[in-house]
């Protein structure tokens, strides 16, 4: 049986492996629910971007919102990767992983004064600024701190990324970026502000994009703006073209990172901008297919309308199906020679929205281990403690090595920081 997604997650006989580790064995050793990531797969995905950009001034900035576990950051850092952050919390994670802040771009539509102060203090490479109001605040924070903020304006190219509405960000109606029509004026305004140094331009149009066309349309709009801005004597050193490349969850056919980057570079060169530094902010495409979530089947519950396969992972571990109706592959860690039945795979959380997969043909029994595929991105980083469920443990593998990179949360961890009321 071949699986969509990464070649690093595959059956050998009837046993599902990630790299050279059996997932059922990892589940026995570390317990479930358990996220397992292949470092090999992550670095291969990063390498595809880096190879496509070789010979140019560039930095691939991993959008760490996709998976912000410290060991994941550390693995990318060791492979010359930069980082895209969206909060003060992500900045502290970067610092905790020992990463040089000068490889960090700070994105996000609602940066606070305190986040700006901290990012200036540690010296991030660039702020991706999303509104005039943010620009003014950053100028005042930087001036007060006696520092200069390097700035790139995130422009909204008004291009349809052809993806789920919740994760489309480059349309006029989205909250993100500075409208194409006002970008030149905001750049001109930026030149008048103290504590601001303009270094680039930025755009990001959405996530799980499976076609090259929206990227090229957005790129054209951005290059138009670069030319318009520079005609006012404002120099833009780098182009940050965002992230958003989709992965294969089931039968999607996104372009490969190499092909997409090659097409974008060809357009950049054709328009005479080949000398500029290129930044990219991929998240999902670096980690999504490098990870799985292993979960134990607790009960099979046949019903009149539906059969349910109740597992020990839930919407608090993998929110994507409940949140976006997203399809995630679900397969057994050990194949059984038995006829499959059709199940809704659901978790123990007290909501009917708590499902991981619907109408899945599976040959399983209670006690079996199932793997939710493509779970390296936007799963652990979106996990919650709903129903007072501790978050899962995480393991990183490379070849036959397996390292626990995050301990399973215990009940005591969940109420740390809470206080009982004083006696009446």
| Of residues 67-96, those binding ligand LLP (CB under 6 A) | 84
Chain centroid to CA 366: 33
| Of residues 366-405, those binding ligand LLP (CB under 6 A) | 378
Judged by DSSP in three states, 179 sits in: strand
Q: Provide, rounded to whole angstroms, the least separation between the CB of residue 178 and ligand LLP.
A: 13
Is 168 a binder of ligand LLP (CB under 6 A)?
no
User: What are the residues whose beta carbons fall under 8 Å from the beta carbon of 214, sequence distance 6 or more?
Assistant: 159, 160, 161, 162, 170, 205, 206
The site map against ligand LLP for 343-362 (x = CB under 6 A) is --------------------
Q: CA 375, CA 63: separation in Å to the nearest integer?
A: 16
Bridge-partner residues for 296, per DSSP?
369
| Residue of 67, 69, 131, 285 that binds ligand LLP (CB under 6 A) | 285
| Residue of 58, 111, 221, 320 that binds ligand LLP (CB under 6 A) | 320
φ/ψ (deg, to 5) at 272:
80, 25
| Residue of 23, 34, 63, 362 that binds ligand LLP (CB under 6 A) | 63
Q: CA 352, CA 322: separation in Å to the nearest integer?
A: 9
Q: Are 374 and 320 in contact (CB under 8 A)?
A: no
Q: Are 59 and 82 in contact (CB under 8 A)?
A: yes
Which C-beta is closer to ligand LLP: that of 290 or that of 310? 290
Q: Which stretch binds ligand LLP (CB under 6 A): 14-22, 203-211, 249-257, 290-298?
A: 203-211
350 is catalytic: yes
| Of residues 218-277, those binding ligand LLP (CB under 6 A) | 242-245
| Residue of 19, 130, 134, 281 that binds ligand LLP (CB under 6 A) | 281
335: which DSSP letter?
Answer: -
272: which DSSP letter?
Answer: T
- Structure tokens of 271? 């328009």
Q: Provide, rounded to whole angstroms, the least separation between the CB of residue 378 and ligand LLP.
A: 3
- Structure tokens of 190? 């930026």
Which C-beta is closer to ligand LLP: that of 294 or that of 377? 377
Is 316 a binder of ligand LLP (CB under 6 A)?
no
Omega of the bond leading into 33 within 30 degrees of 0 (cis) = yes
Q: Which stretch binds ligand LLP (CB under 6 A): 201-209, 344-352, 357-365, 385-393?
A: 201-209
Chain centroid to CA 70: 14
| Residue of 208, 289, 316, 374 that binds ligand LLP (CB under 6 A) | 208
Q: Provide, rounded to whole angstroms, the least separation between the CB of residue 352 and ligand LLP.
A: 21
What distances in angstroms separate CA 419 from CA 115, 125, 174, 339, 415, one per listed residue? 27, 40, 39, 52, 9
| Residue of 88, 214, 254, 282 that binds ligand LLP (CB under 6 A) | 282
Which C-beta is closer to ligand LLP: that of 17 or that of 378? 378
Query: Among 406, 396, 335, which residue's Cα sits nearest to residue 371?
Result: 335
- Structure tokens of 143? 């001036």
Q: Which of 203, 309, 350, 379 is labelled catalytic?
A: 350
Bridge-partner residues for 403, per DSSP?
396
Q: Provide, rounded to whole angstroms, the least separation between the CB of residue 283 and ligand LLP.
A: 3
Query: Binding residues for ligand LLP, per CB under 6 A?
Result: 63, 66, 84, 107, 167, 169, 204, 207-208, 242-245, 281-285, 320, 378
Q: Which residues does the annotation mark as catalytic?
A: 350
């Amino acid at each position: 049986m071949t699986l969509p997604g990464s070649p690093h997650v595959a059956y050998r006989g009837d046993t599902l492996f990630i790299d050279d580790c059996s997932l059922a064995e990892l589940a026995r050793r570390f317990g479930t629910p358990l996220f397992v990531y292949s470092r090999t797969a992550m670095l291969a995905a990063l390498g595809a971007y880096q190879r496509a950009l070789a010979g140019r001034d560039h930095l691939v900035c991993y959008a760490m919102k996709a998976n912000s576990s410290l060991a994941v950051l550390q693995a990318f850092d060791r492979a010359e990767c930069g980082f895209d952050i969206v909060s003060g919390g992500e900045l502290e994670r970067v610092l905790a992983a020992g990463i040089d802040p000068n490889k960090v771009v700070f994105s996000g539509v609602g940066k606070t004064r305190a986040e700006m102060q901290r990012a200036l203090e540690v010296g991030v490479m660039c702020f991706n600024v999303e509104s005039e109001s943010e620009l003014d605040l950053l100028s005042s924070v930087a001036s007060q701190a006696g520092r200069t903020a390097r700035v790139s304006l995130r422009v909204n190219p008004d291009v349809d990324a052809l993806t789920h509405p919740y994760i489309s960000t480059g349309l006029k109606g989205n909250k993100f970026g500075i409208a194409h029509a006002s970008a030149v004026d905001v750049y001109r305004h930026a030149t008048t502000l103290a504590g601001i140094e303009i270094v680039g331009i930025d755009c990001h149009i959405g996530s799980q994009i499976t076609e090259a066309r929206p990227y090229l349309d957005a790129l054209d709009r951005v290059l138009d703006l670069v030319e318009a801005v520079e005609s006012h004597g404002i120099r833009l050193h780098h182009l940050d073209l965002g992230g958003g490349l989709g992965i294969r969850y089931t039968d999607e056919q996104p372009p490969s990172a190499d092909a997409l980057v090659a097409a974008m570079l060809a357009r950049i060169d054709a328009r005479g901008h080949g000398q500029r530094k290129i930044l990219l902010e991929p998240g999902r495409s670096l980690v999504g297919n490098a990870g799985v979530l292993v979960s134990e089947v607790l009960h099979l519950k046949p019903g009149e309308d539906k059969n349910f396969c109740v597992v020990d992972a839930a919407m608090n571990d993998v929110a994507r199906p409940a949140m976006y109706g997203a399809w995630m592959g679900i397969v057994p860690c050990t194949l059984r020679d038995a006829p499959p039945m059709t199940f809704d795979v659901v978790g123990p959380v007290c909501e009917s929205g708590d499902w991981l997969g619907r109408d899945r043909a599976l040959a399983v029994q209670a006690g079996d281990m199932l793997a939710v595929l493509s779970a390296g991105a936007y799963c652990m980083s979106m996990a919650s403690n709903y129903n007072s469920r501790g978050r899962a443990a995480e393991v990183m593998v490379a070849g036959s090595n397996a390292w626990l990179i995050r301990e399973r949360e215990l009940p005591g961890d969940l109420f740390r920081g809470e206080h009982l009321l004083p006696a009446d």
